[in-house]
């Protein structure tokens, strides 16, 4: 997130018991970076289906420091740059924090520039995944930004606000990158990660009110549904296509089962949520932790259904049986490729046999299975893509997503990918996870990759065995509805390359 700050003397601050309270506005930028573009130009791959949980944690910690945080989610509200600026100005904030992701960094930059033109003295701060990897580059590329907060921002951002409100030197705050007097770029020593996640307050979910968050068709069965995270970081942290696999990855930490149950109790009994989507990179870690969590959940009798994400090499038959018995009905597994050599290239740390076993065990536990494969990895050939399609069709999975590989700046695989292929420039307005942005040397162009993606969707979802499975599952009307909605959703994705 990038935050912009005004001189302390110009803040509209309020007194509170422990000092000065600041009005903080957190902003998720639009999808469109064009000054005339509208966020409403959202295709299926550009949905904002789930609340930004990280900002909920940030707002909760700021509240503990006496500051008041509000949210404008331009993606959820489908706002363009001009509308977002107007919405920000209407809030009259003391400081603005803008989230920044690599694929949409132009949108964050455009919003900061437009906001700076409208409010020259308004402090602007940025934070988020892109800020963690490229904090100095943000200040070099976007003069409108005053401060960047890399990494886990809760305590750093709160300390920065306390410092500004108290008239102290910003250089006293660990973990920020800034422009002293809007001059040369300076950085303070890095801040530590939150080592004990139980010390964090639960996300401030009031922040999300008024935003139309709706999970994807195959992400939930019951409404209302929301997200919860039990951990931070990745226990594997070696996948070369992911930030977690490089020097920017955070260490793995997990909340206690008791702390998670406390949040679930609040979500169900006080807020009325009926389903939880666990958003951990890998929920299925540490069978002892999971057994304790499930025991506590059973004892509470909350009538919650839930879904998880996992890795095929960390699940076991007993683990999957246990979570299914406690209300979990759906698991997401990343298979990535049907080629062992490509799995080794990306350092996924899994085998095809482990994928087969995980799917078999999940089916035996009665779990619905979502899966994903990537095409056009560095070094991939069309023949390898065919092997991946065949392997995908071999697996008894309920919902499968096929997407092209995208280079993420700063990831370990970036340099090799650039040596073995080329990047296809896509304007930020047109960027979509399902449209190829990288072409390996063995492919003629993005059109060939798009055709392979369409072929994968056709062959997977139109198999007689898949149709029989879907019809058998669809005896439940809720599941039938999800199958129909998901089929339409992924059919659009399979053909949008032709329209895009």
- Within-domain flag for 201: no
pLDDT tens digit string along 476-496?
776 777 667 666 666 665 555
Q: pLDDT at position 430, please?
A: 52
Q: Quick one: tokens of 326? A: 């406690």
- Within-domain flag for 204: no
Same domain, 297 and 431: yes
d(CA 11, CA 19): 14
Q: pLDDT at position 101, please?
A: 87
By the 8 A CB rule, do 1 and 149 touch? yes
Percent of the chain with pLDDT over 70: 84
Q: pLDDT at position 38, please?
A: 46
Q: For the ranges 263-277, 446-460, 463-477, which has the lowest average pLDDT?
A: 463-477
Mean pLDDT (the chain, rounded) = 87
Token pair 């331009």: residue:
74
* 230-251: average pLDDT: 74
- Within-domain flag for 208: no
Same domain, 223 and 183: no
pLDDT tens digit string along 263-279?
999 999 999 999 999 99
Boundaries of domain holding 74? 2-187
Band the pLDDT of 8: cuts 50, 70, 90. very low
Same domain, 474 and 325: yes
CATH number at residue 360: 3.80.30.20
> Could you tell me which residues come within 8 angstroms of residue 455 by beta carbon, excluding any fewer than 6 positions away?
389
pLDDT tens digit string along 11-48?
333 333 345 789 999 999 998 766 554 443 444 444 55
pLDDT tens digit string along 134-168?
888 999 999 999 999 999 999 999 999 999 888 88
Same domain, 306 and 433: yes
Helix (H, G, I), strand (E, B) or coil at 369: strand
Residue 99 pLDDT more than 80? yes
- Within-domain flag for 210: no
Residue 113 pLDDT more than 60? yes
Same domain, 431 and 290: yes
DSSP code for 80: -
By the 8 A CB rule, do 337 and 343 touch? yes
Same domain, 129 and 230: no
Number of domains in the chain: 2
- Within-domain flag for 164: yes
pTM of the entire predicted model: 0.88
Band the pLDDT of 223: cuts 50, 70, 90. confident
Q: Measuring CA to CA, how many Å separate 275 from each of 52, 224, 265, 303, 473?
A: 17, 7, 12, 9, 20
Give the residue from 397, 387, 310, 409 showing the smallest Cα distance to 341: 387
Q: pLDDT at position 243, please?
A: 66
Same domain, 8 and 120: yes
- Within-domain flag for 209: no
- Within-domain flag for 331: yes
Q: pLDDT at position 290, please?
A: 98
Same domain, 128 and 262: no
CATH number at residue 64: 3.40.50.280
Same domain, 154 and 263: no
- Within-domain flag for 36: yes
Residue 499 pLDDT more than 50? no
Same domain, 243 and 156: no
DSSP code for 50: S
Band the pLDDT of 175: cuts 50, 70, 90. very high
Same domain, 153 and 270: no
Same domain, 162 and 252: no
Last residue of a domain, one of 187, 202, 232: 187
């Amino acid at each position: 997130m990038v935050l912009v700050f005004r001189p302390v003397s110009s803040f509209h601050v309020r007194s509170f018991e422990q000092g000065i309270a600041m009005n903080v506005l957190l902003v998720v930028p639009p999808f469109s970076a064009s000054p005339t573009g509208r966020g409403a130009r959202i295709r299926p791959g550009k949905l904002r289906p789930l609340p930004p949980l990280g900002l909920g944690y940030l707002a909760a910690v700021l509240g503990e420091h006496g500051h008041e945080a509000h949210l404008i989610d331009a993606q959820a509200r489908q706002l363009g740059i001009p509308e977002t600026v107007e919405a920000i100005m209407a809030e009259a904030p003391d400081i603005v924090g803008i989230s920044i992701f690599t694929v949409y960094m132009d949108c964050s930059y455009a919003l900061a520039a437009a906001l700076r033109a409208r409010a020259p003295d308004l402090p602007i701060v940025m934070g988020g995944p892109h800020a963690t990897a490229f904090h100095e580059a943000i200040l070099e590329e976007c003069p409108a930004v005053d401060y960047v907060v890399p990494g886990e921002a809760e305590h750093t951002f709160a300390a920065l606000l306390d410092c500004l409100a108290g008239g102290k030197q910003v250089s006293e705050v660990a973990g920020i990158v800034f422009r002293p007097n809007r001059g040369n770029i300076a950085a303070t020593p890095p801040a530590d990660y939150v080592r004990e996640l139980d010390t964090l307050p639960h996300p401030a979910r009031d922040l999300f009110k008024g935003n139309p968050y709706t999970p994807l068709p195959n992400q939930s069965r019951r409404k209302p549904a929301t997200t919860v995270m039990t951990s931070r970081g990745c226990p594997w942290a070696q996948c070369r296509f992911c930030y977690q696999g490089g020097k920017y990855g955070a260490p793995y930490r997990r909340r206690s089962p008791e702390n998670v149950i406390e949040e679930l109790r609040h979500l169900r009994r006080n807020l009325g949520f009926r389903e939880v989507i666990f958003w951990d990179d890998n929920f299925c870690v540490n069978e002892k932790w999971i057994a304790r969590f499930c025991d506590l959940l059973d004892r509470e009798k909350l009538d919650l259904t839930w879904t998880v994400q996992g890795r095929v090499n960390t699940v076991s038959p007993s683990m999957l049986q246990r979570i299914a018995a406690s209300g979990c009905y759906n698991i997401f597994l990343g298979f990535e490729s049907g080629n062992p050599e490509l799995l080794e290239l990306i350092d996924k740390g899994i085998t095809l046999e482990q994928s087969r076993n995980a799917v078999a065990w999940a089916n035996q536990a009665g779990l619905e299975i979502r899966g994903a494969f990537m095409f056009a990895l560095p070094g991939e050939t069309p023949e390898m893509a065919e092997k991946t399609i065949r392997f995908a069709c071999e697996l008894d999975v309920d919902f499968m997503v096929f997407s092209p590989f995208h280079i993420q700046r700063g990831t370990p695989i970036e340099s090799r990918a650039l040596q073995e292929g080329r990047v296809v420039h896509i304007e930020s307005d047109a960027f979509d996870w399902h449209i190829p942005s990288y072409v390996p040397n063995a492919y003629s162009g993005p059109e060939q990759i798009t055709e392979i993606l369409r072929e994968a969707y056709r062959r997977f979802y139109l198999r007689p065995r898949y149709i029989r499975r879907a019809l058998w599952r669809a005896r439940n009307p809720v599941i039938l509805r999800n199958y129909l909605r998901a089929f339409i959703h992924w059919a659009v994705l399979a053909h949008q390359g032709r329209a895009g």
